[in-house]
Amino acid sequence: MLAIVGRPNVGKSTLFNRLVGGRKAIVEDTPGVTRDTNLGEVEWGHARFVVMDTGGLDTAAASEGLPDKVRRQIQKAVDQADVLLLIVDGKVPVHPQDLDVVRILRKTEKPILCAVNKIDTNAHTENVYPYYRLGLEPLMPISAEHGIGVGDLLDAVVERLPSPRPESAGTVIAEPVKVAVLGRPNVGKSTLVNNLLGEERQLVDEMPGTTRDAIDTPFTWRGIPHLLIDTAGIGKKAKVTVTLDKIAVIKALQSLERCDVALLMLDANEGVGVQDAQIGRYILEKEKGVVILMNKWDLVRGKGRSSRKTLEQVYDHLPHLRFAPIVPISALTGHNVVNALRWIQRVEEACRMRVPTGELNRLLEEAVKAHSPPSEGARLRKLNYITQIRDAPPTFLVFGNSARKPETSYQRYLINQIRNRFGFKGAPLRLLFRKKN
């Protein structure tokens, strides 16, 4: 495992994106953009290892509040890493904080590499020499933005990594269940991630917008590997004005593309808002499995009937997500979080479920007999047979005497019949129609 460390705005996230092969971390010409520790996987030659992008280590910042939390996150990454990679800015003189960072890293007695970044041309090479003052060799001149020197840097990293343990022949590594945590700012997404992991992996602060990147964190539950994707809070468009916030929201929505199950977190104390419904529509558009989490349930007044009524009213505000389970939790205390994990597993299985064609056709025959499809003008509509053609999302192809879709209410009727018979709780269902040859 490799940890990338250094002062703010020296190019750590740019190098991280270069190593993992994509814009996984937010990059902006503003110090302190990265706060949480971001993880990615790198393959170089025959080696495969995890790289961690950390927040900027500002040794002169206040010792309390968010800066102190960032420092604790960096210390955890340094403790977990096998090799430490210090990034410095080759376009400026040696900064006193660079020396402070080196002193901190030396205490670990781990292999330390120093990359002098922003050496974009041969004319900039002389900018490397002042950094011999740090007492680290070899110094690796690189340009993270243009990829210059990155190959030599990776060679040096691989040389210092511990030898991998041999894997058993024929071992199949299961793909993790990818779970994206979405919601408005400050509803408790990072608190939930920390609770699931049993440690403060994600920064939590009273200030909304603490999380900016979509942070991937692997964990295992009941022997099943999972990948948690903690995202930035998705606020109303009118309130998203700062460039960094816009990028964070875009990355939160992009996380939907690669997840299997989306957790829509709501604030039980505030109820369901317009923005919650909009996030629910985003999830539905991407056709992902969904679990609704009513967080801060410990703050809801009343027990018994009033609590059940609060849960039932959620569907009134989120009618497009009536198929999703609702789980009341407290991310802070851990109340009912295990039940949320169970539902993640059930929904993921529902998204992959296959129904035999014979059973589907029996259901279609019964459904049509109970409620005939609406006619197209003077022509009677016939639905002949149905088959499932794919999963994730479960997709069904209906053959009949017309390729046109019936009206929305009848499509909803058929989907409800499928759900009532076979389940598919939390999984979006898709119906396609084709004319029978």
Q: What is the mean pLDDT of residues 137-148?
A: 92
Residue 47 lies in a domain: yes
CA distance 279 to 235: 9
Q: Does 257 lie in the same domain as 123?
A: no
Residue 413 sits in a domain whose CATH number is 3.30.300.20
Q: Domains in the chain: how many in total?
A: 3
What percentage of the chain reaches a pLDDT higher than 90?
Answer: 52
Is a pLDDT exceeding 60 seen at residue 145? yes
Compute the C-alpha angle 131/133/139, nearest 5°.
Answer: 40
Is a pLDDT exceeding 60 seen at residue 326? yes
pLDDT in tens, 280-289: 999 999 999 9
- The residue among 207 and 291 whose pLDDT is bigger is 291
Residue that is last in its domain, among 351, 377, 392: 351
CA distance 91 to 124: 8
CA distance 254 to 335: 30
Q: What is the mean pLDDT of residues 296-307?
A: 73
Give me Rg for the CA atoms of the chain.
Answer: 26
pLDDT band at 73 (very low <50, low <70, confident <90, very high): confident
Of 224, 218, 222, 175, which Cα lies nearest the Cα of 193? 218
Q: Which residues lie below 8 Å from residue 305, measured CB to CB, with a gap of 6+?
A: none
Of 92, 103, 105, 99, which Cα lies nearest the Cα of 5? 105
Peptide bond into 138 cis (omega under 30): yes
Residue 382 lies in a domain: yes
Residue 168 lies in a domain: no
Q: Does 287 lie in the same domain as 193?
A: yes
Average pLDDT of every residue of the chain: 83
Q: What is the mean pLDDT of residues 388-415?
A: 94
pLDDT score for 238: 44
Residue 167 lies in a domain: no
Q: Which residues lie below 8 Å from residue 22, measured CB to CB, with a gap of 6+?
A: none
pLDDT score for 60: 61
- The residue among 197 and 333 whose pLDDT is bigger is 333
- Max mean pLDDT among 51-55, 67-71, 244-248, 382-386 falls in 382-386
Q: Does 135 lie in the same domain as 19?
A: yes
Is a pLDDT exceeding 50 seen at residue 65? no
pLDDT score for 216: 78
pLDDT score for 396: 97
Q: Does 320 lie in the same domain as 383?
A: no
Q: Does 190 lie in the same domain as 268?
A: yes
pLDDT score for 36: 53
Residue 403 lies in a domain: yes
Contact by Cβ (8 Å): 85, 157 = yes
pLDDT score for 63: 52
Residue 275 lies in a domain: yes
Residue 166 lies in a domain: no
Q: Does 121 lie in the same domain as 32?
A: yes
pLDDT in tens, 23-62: 554 444 444 444 456 788 888 988 889 898 887 777 665 4
Is a pLDDT exceeding 70 seen at residue 243? no
pLDDT score for 204: 40
The token duo for 140 is: 């690796």
CA distance 208 to 51: 28
pLDDT in tens, 330-368: 999 999 999 999 999 999 999 999 999 999 999 999 999
Q: Does 335 lie in the same domain as 294?
A: yes
pLDDT score for 422: 95
- The residue among 396 and 236 whose pLDDT is bigger is 396
Peptide bond into 393 cis (omega under 30): yes
The token duo for 197 is: 């992991």
Q: Does 363 lie in the same domain as 298?
A: no
pLDDT score for 303: 57
Q: Does 234 lie in the same domain as 125?
A: no
Residue that is last in its domain, among 110, 130, 160: 160
pLDDT score for 205: 42
Name the least confident of 54-68, 142-156, 173-187, 410-424. 54-68
Is a pLDDT exceeding 50 seen at residue 214? yes
The whole domain housing 373 covers 357-435
pLDDT in tens, 107-121: 998 999 999 999 998
Q: Does 387 lie in the same domain as 325?
A: no
CA distance 17 to 50: 13
Residue 249 sits in a domain whose CATH number is 3.40.50.300
Is a pLDDT exceeding 70 seen at residue 64? no
Q: Does 156 lie in the same domain as 31?
A: yes
Residue that is last in its domain, among 135, 160, 185: 160
Residue 165 lies in a domain: no
Q: How large is the greatest C-alpha to C-alpha distance in the chain, in angstroms? A: 88
Q: What is the mean pLDDT of residues 386-401?
A: 95
Q: Does 150 lie in the same domain as 47?
A: yes
Q: Which residues lie below 8 Å from residue 9, measured CB to CB, with a gap of 6+?
A: 29, 30, 31, 32, 33, 56, 89
Q: What is the mean pLDDT of residues 223-232?
A: 83
Q: What is the secondary structure of 71-89 as a DSSP string?
A: HHHHHHHHHH-SEEEEEEE
pTM: 0.67
CA distance 253 to 256: 5
- The residue among 199 and 228 whose pLDDT is bigger is 228
